[in-house]
Amino acid sequence: MPSIIRLSQQVADLIAAGEVVERPASAAKELIENSLDAGAKHITVEIQGGGIALLRVTDDGKGISADEVETAFLRHATSKLRTKEDLEAIATMGFRGEALAAISAVAKVELLTKTEEAPFGRRVELAGGEVLSNEEAGCPKGTTIVLKDLFYNTPARHKFLKKDVTEAGYVLSVCQRTALARPDVAFTFIKNGEIVLQTPGDGQLKTVIYCLFGNSMAEKLLPVAAQHENITVSGFVGRPEAARGSRSMQYFLVNERPVKNGTLQSAVEQAFRKQLTVGRFPAAFLHVSIHPGQLDVNIHPAKTEVKFAREKDVFDAVYYAVKTALSESEMADFAFQRPSSMEKKAEITAKTPMAVQFREDPTLVRGDLSEDAREYSSAIYKKHKNSPNGDDIIRESNLAQSGMVSLAALGILAEPSAPAKPNDKTELQAQAKTMPPAYAEPEWKPSATVRPAVPLAVEVFEETPMQKPPTKANEEAAKAPDDTEVSWRFVGEAMGTYIIAERGDTLCLMDKHAAHERLVYEQLKKEADLLPAQLLLEAPVLHLEARETAVLLENRATLLRLGFEIEEFGGGSLRLLSIPSVL
C-alpha cells in the first residue's frame, strides 16, 4: 500500500471546514458577509442553543438563481472574482468561495432563495456536504440559510465548544462589529426567540453605538473626521472618562470591514497618551477608507486581520485625526468654562485690598495654630483615630491642620464698611484672636506650604524590596520586636487625593482612594464565603461588550456566591441586583 494517498473529497472538505468554521460565530460571520455582498439592507440572525442547535440568517439581497444554487456549495465557487488581477484590489467581504462548502460539510443546511425576476424560489437541503433535495418553493426575494446541529459529524470539534451562553455572546459580537461597519444596514439579532439587538439602518454610526452600548457611551463621544494622503478617517472616539481597562471598546473598520490591526490601535493610543493613565485604553469607533490596492485582506483565514502597504501613512492619518478631535474638544471646554472663570476672577479682584493687607502677616495665614485650633485638631484626632483610611480626619481637619484661618470667617472677603489701612494690622490680629475657628468643611485648595505633622493611624501600603532567601538568623531577627520602629505621621493632603505621610527620613504619597479599595479588596478575600449581599433599590444597567457579558453570565453562580447578583436585561446588557454589603 502506498504511503502517500490522495484524500477523499469528504475528508478534504472536513479539513477545509476546520479552517473556516471554528464555532457558530464563524459560520454566522461568513453568512452575514455573503448577505452584504448580495446588497442586503435588512439582515436577521437568529440562534438557539448558542447557535449550535440552530443558526438562521435571513436577508433581502438579490438572491441566487435557480440554476446556480447547487454550484454555490462547491469549493472555490464564487461570484466575486474572475481573474488573478481581482485579488490585487478586493472590494467585497468574501472572495475565496469556501464558506458555503465548509459550512455544509459540518452541519445540516437548508437554503431558501429567490431572485427578483424568478416567479418561484428554490429550497435546497444538504447534510455533510451532500445535496439531499432541490425543489421549488414559495419565498420572498432574498436568501435564508438555516444551519442545524453544527459539527454533528465532527465530535472532535464539537467537544471544544463552550457553553451556549458563551457561544451566543460570540455570535452577538459578530453582529455588533458588522453593524458598526455598516450603519446603513438594519440588523436584528434574536436569541432563543427574544430580540437582543436591533439597529435601524439609518446610516448614522452614532445611532448604532447608542443601540449597542446605550446612552452612557453615546454621550461621551467625540466626532472624528480627517483626510491624509488619500486616507479618510471618520467615526468617533470616547472622551477620556469613557476609557476602559481593556481594548474591548475599540472597533476599527477598514473599507467597511471589521478588522484587528496593531497600527490602528497604536495610533489611537498614542493620541491619547497624555490624556490617560497607564492601563487605561480609549474607546474608538473608527472607519478608515483606503484604496483597495493599498490593502491586503488575504493574510488570515477569517479575514479579520489586514496589512497596509503604507503603514506609516495610515498611522499618521489616524493619529492626527484623533489628536485634532481631542484638541477641538479641549478648546470647546475651555471656551465654555471661560465666562465663569472671568466672573470669579473679577469678584476676587474687586475684593483684593483687605485680603492683601491680611496676607502680609504670615502669623495669621500660615503661622502657628491658635489655641482654639489646637484643641479642635486634637479633638478630631481622638474622634477618628481608628479610621481605616484617614478620610474622616482629612475631611474634617483640612482647615485646622493647615494652620490657615478661614478668610470668610474673618470677614476678609466681605464688603468692608471702610477701606483697611496698612497700619491696621494690629487691629486685624486682635480681631482674628476673638473669632471662633471655622468648623465647616472648607473648599479644598492646594497649599504651597507643608502642614504641621499630626499623628494618624493609617495603614500604608508601600512597595517592599526583593528579599534575600530567609536564613535562621534573619527569621529570629524578624521575630524580635523592633524598638526603633517609628510610626507613620500625617503631614498633609495634596489635591484632595493624596495623603502625605512621613516616617524617619521617608516621605510617602498615598492615593487614599486606592488605599481604601485595597482595604475593601483584602476584606473581600478574607470573607469570600461569608459576605452578606445587599439588594440595590435602583439596579443599575451595565452596557458591556458581548464577550464580557458572556463571561459574566457563564460565571453567574460564582458571582452570586460573592454577593453579586446579575440578570440579563436585553440588548446584550445586564442588570446588577445586589452587591456585597461591605461595598
pLDDT of 429: 52
CATH superfamily of 9-202: Histidine kinase-like ATPase, C-terminal domain (3.30.565.10)
Looking at per-residue confidence, does 181 or 403 come out higher? 181
For residue 189, give the amino acid letter.
Answer: F
Task: Please state whether the predicted TM-score (pTM) of the whole model is above 0.75.
Answer: no
- Domain boundaries along the sequence of the chain: 9-202, 220-327, 352-448, 527-580
CA 60 to chain centre: 34
CA 122 to chain centre: 45
CA dihedral 203, 209, 211, 213 (to 10 degrees): 170
Q: What is the CATH number of domain 527-580?
A: 3.30.1370.100
For residue 71, give the amino acid letter.
Answer: T
**Is residue 43 helix, strand or coil?**
strand
Phi, psi angle pair for 126, to nearest 5°? -135, 155
Pick the CATH number of 220-327 from 3.40.50.2000, 3.40.50.2300, 3.40.50.300, 3.30.230.10: 3.30.230.10
**Is residue 32 helix, strand or coil?**
helix
9-202 with 527-580: one CATH topology?
A: no
Looking at per-residue confidence, does 300 or 183 come out higher? 183
Looking at per-residue confidence, does 46 or 454 come out higher? 46
pLDDT at 545 over 80: no
Number of H helices, E strands in the chain: 19, 23
pLDDT of 475: 54
pLDDT at 420 over 50: no
Spell out a b/e string for 403-433, using b for 16 or more CB atoms within 10 Å of the CB, else e.
bbbbbebbebbeeeeeebeeeeeeebeeebe
d(CA 267, CA 271): 6
- pLDDT band for 334, please (50, 70, 90 cuts): low
Residues 6+ apart with CB under 8 A from 371: none
Phi, psi angle pair for 192, to nearest 5°? 50, 45
pLDDT of 443: 47
Q: What is the pLDDT of residues 57-114, one digit of tens each?
A: 999 999 999 999 999 998 878 877 777 777 777 777 877 778 898 899 999 999 999 9
Phi, psi angle pair for 366, to nearest 5°? -125, 20
Place of cell 472536513: 14
At 507, which helix (H) or strand (E)? strand 506-511
